[in-house]
């Protein structure tokens, strides 16, 4: 999972300490790309973090700010499509 994320969505590796958590897996299934995550409203992200027991205001504010500033590593649609399929399968298994 780490190798796939490094190829198209490396920011998630810096935003979360452990990518094997329910928070990360559910987040990746819901917003599998930087572009999808950036489209989410801050209130939606806050609700998501609270629902996954990540409720520290400082942590949430830092993550939301980082999400808004994130730039996709690649825009190659073939890489994106294959990576999203792989991440969805891996996140579902975890």
Per-residue pLDDT for the chain (94 aa), expressed as one digit of tens each?
999 999 999 999 999 889 999 999 999 999 999 999 999 999 999 999 999 998 789 989 999 999 999 999 999 999 999 999 999 999 999 8
Q: pTM for the complete prediction?
A: 0.87
Q: In this structure, are residues 52 and 22 in contact, taking their beta carbons and an 8 Å threshold?
A: yes
Query: Which of these, 2, 15, 18, 83, lies nearest to 45 by C-alpha position?
Result: 15
Question: Looking at residue 64, what is its pLDDT?
Answer: 95
The owner of tokens 């590593």 is 73
Q: In this structure, are residues 17 and 59 in contact, taking their beta carbons and an 8 Å threshold?
A: no
Neighbours of 13 (CB within 10 A): 14
Question: Looking at residue 17, what is its pLDDT?
Answer: 86
């Amino acid at each position: 999972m780490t190798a796939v994320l490094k190829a198209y969505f490396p920011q998630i590796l810096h935003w979360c300490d452990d990518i094997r958590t329910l928070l990360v897996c559910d987040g990746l299934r819901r917003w599998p790309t930087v572009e999808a995550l950036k489209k989410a409203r801050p209130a939606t992200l806050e609700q998501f973090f609270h629902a996954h027991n990540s409720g520290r205001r400082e942590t949430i504010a830092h993550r939301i700010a980082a999400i808004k500033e994130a730039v996709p590593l690649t825009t190659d649609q073939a890489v994106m499509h294959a990576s999203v399929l792989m991440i969805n399968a891996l996140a579902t298994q975890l």
